[in-house]
Amino acid sequence: MSAGSLGVITGTGFTDVTALENPQLQEIVTAFGTVEAVVGELHGRRTVFLPRHRRDHSVPPHLVNYRALIQALVDQGVTEVLAVNVVGGIGPETGQLVVVDDFIDYTKSRISSFFDGAPPDGVVHVDVTEPYDSRLRSTWIEAAGQLGLDVIPHGIYGAFEGPRFETAAEIRMARAAGVTVVGMTGVPEVVLAMERGLPYASLCLVVNPAAGLGPPVSVDAIVEQITLSAETVQGVIAEAARMLS
């Protein structure tokens, strides 16, 4: 059993964790800003749940305060993080689950590090050869397997700025680079977790074919797919938390 609390971060369409017991809504103040959290228990373990976009989905992906999210988990004694990302598919089909093991960052204007050269840390360079924790990745994969679900055990996450969807040309570029899923929130979140020494792994839910690979990207269709898959994803979260407890 891991010491410390469990962190769970979710995105679009996942404004709660249905298995969370005794949930208490909190505003957590950090050195980088304030975030909305729900603190409760999963399988007897204290769990800090953070909806990236807030529970009313009022914060777009390019304006999420990623440093505050990660720092809030650190300040709350979290020692490992399960993240859920809603993504477009370049290869994986709509409705599939993917546990990514690498990323390419196509974002442009985000604050992507805790380190700005100032004392006491100075200039810091973090090795991101393996950005996603192998043990937590295995936990996601095994949890899905325990529920009889198929999961793609490898993938490359392409992070785009948003809030617009990608162009077909951008998807062709990403596909040529080996990207298999695209989203707007996975980076810098994973990098910041690494900088703070937090083991982190992402379960990606594919909700649409990426631009140019199917019909025009539709928010309504994405929401429909999230609704169809929500119970499945919630089940995997709960099972992964059970395994980690």
Average pLDDT, the chain: 96
- Kindly give, in sequence order, each residue whose CB lies less than 8 Å from that of residue 163, ignoring residues fewer than 6 positions away: 60, 61, 62, 184
Task: Place domain 5-244 in its CATH homologous superfamily.
Answer: Nucleoside phosphorylase domain (3.40.50.1580)
SS3 (DSSP) at 205:
strand
Amino acid identity for residue 58 in this structure: S
Given a contact cutoff of 8 angstroms between Cβ atoms, the answer to whether 63 and 52 are in contact is no
Whole-angstrom distance, CA of residue 11 vs CA of residue 85? 6
Q: What is the pLDDT of residue 3?
A: 75
Let me know how long the chain is. 245
Whole-angstrom distance, CA of residue 45 vs CA of residue 155? 30
For the chain, the domains span 5-244
pLDDT tens across 19-76, in order? 999 999 999 999 999 999 999 999 999 999 999 999 999 999 999 999 999 999 999 9
Which tokens is 150 given? 């198929």
Whole-angstrom distance, CA of residue 138 vs CA of residue 113? 27
Whole-angstrom distance, CA of residue 206 vs CA of residue 84? 11
Given a contact cutoff of 8 angstroms between Cβ atoms, the answer to whether 115 and 124 are in contact is yes
Q: What is the pLDDT of residue 1?
A: 42
Average pLDDT per consecutive 10 residues, the chain (245 residues; last block may be shorter): 85 94 97 97 98 93 97 98 98 97 97 94 96 98 98 98 97 98 98 98 98 96 97 98 97
DSSP class of 196: T
Q: What is the pLDDT of residue 2?
A: 52
Q: What is the pLDDT of residue 123?
A: 95
